[in-house]
Structure 1
Amino acid sequence: MWQSDASEFLAVQDAELALLSSTVRSDAEHVSSLLADDFAEIGRSGRRWTYGETVAALQVEGPRATPVTSEWLFYRLSSELILVTYRLHGTDHDSRHSSLWELAGPVLRFHQSTSIPSS
């Protein structure tokens, strides 16, 4: 069952928000501690990113404001896995994000973002 109450999943939400922060994104050791070794992402462009590509790209990314998020939902898939979705409000467009987190850690196993067309 989907739930909007994050209280049970605060560590996961905090980790997801940390990955949106320039301070964390530029710290390869911190990013590595949050990503599974076999992590994969499908970005807004449709490109598939691996663990190594993601860590390397985030290290050289320039500083940016931490984006605003909303519409957080959590779905427990098993005792170890949680599916998280939320909306990210960008300066020029919004996007929807989904992440598969392993609760132990927590560790991010998969992430996908999809642009929301302007109306």
Structure 2
Amino acid sequence: MTDETDAVNQAIAGELALTDPAVRSTRARYEKLFDPEYVEVGSSGRRYTYEDMMAWLPDHAGSSEGGPRYAPSAITGVVLAPGLVHLTYETDFDGQRARRTSLWRKQNEETGWRMYYHQGTPVPPGAE
């Protein structure tokens, strides 16, 4: 496995972990996956920071074992530079689709791969 393939696979693994309610509801698990400089533009149009996500994620939809879950599909990734991976994919959450993009960065071996930026864009019903 090449270093680039390994980097993409690790970023994808982190992204998938963040769709797991067991991870989303446990700060000790999810805080390791977010870069301290994290920023998100959510599918709602709202902007979130690292601090926002630390407080918001456990109570957000998709964080409950018994509730709806994010179903990701067609995840692809590319290494933009050493230590920087760009992922794109689509999610379905309780019938609502969104196209998503994330930047994952690795600054050192100790911290590993962490989500640096994320954006979600709603897909209107009937759109391809």
* TM-score bracket for this pair, using the shorter chain length: 0.7 to 0.9
Match of 2:83 among 75, 80, 83: 80
Letter in 2 for 1:37: P
Q: Specify the alignment match of 1:71 in structure 2.
A: 74
- The 5 Å alignment of 1:37-48 reads 37-48=36-47
Deviation for aligned residue 1:7? 5.1
- Backbone CA RMSD of aligned residues: 1.7
- Mark the runs of 5 or more structure 1 residues left unpaired by the alignment: 1-5
SS in 2 for 1:20: coil
2-structure distance, mates of 1:48, 1:109? 13
When structure 1 is superposed on structure 2, of 55-64 and 106-115 the one drifting more is 55-64
The whole-number CA distance in structure 2 between the counterparts of 1:70 and 1:59 is 23
1:65 CA displacement: 3.8
TM (norm. structure 1) is 0.86
What is the TM-score normalised by the length of structure 2?
A: 0.81
Separation in 1 of the partners of 2:114 and 2:72?
20
Alignment coverage as a number of residue pairs: 114
Amino acid at match of 2:124: P
Q: Distance in 1 between matches of 2:125 and 2:69?
A: 21
Please state how far the C-alpha of 1:55 moved relative to its aligned partner: 1.2
CA deviations 1:1-35 (Å, max 9, x no partner) are: xxxxx953222111101111111111112211111
Deviations 1:60-111 (A, max 9, x none): 2351343222111112110110100001122222111100001451111000
Point out where structure 2 has 5 or more consecutive residues left out of the alignment: none
* Cα distance in structure 1, aligned partners of 2:32 and 2:12: 15
Q: Is the CA contact 2:71–2:93 (under 8 Å) kept in the aligned structure 1?
A: yes
Q: Distance in 1 between matches of 2:94 and 2:58?
A: 22
Give, in whole Å, the separation in 2 of the partners of 1:55 and 1:43: 15
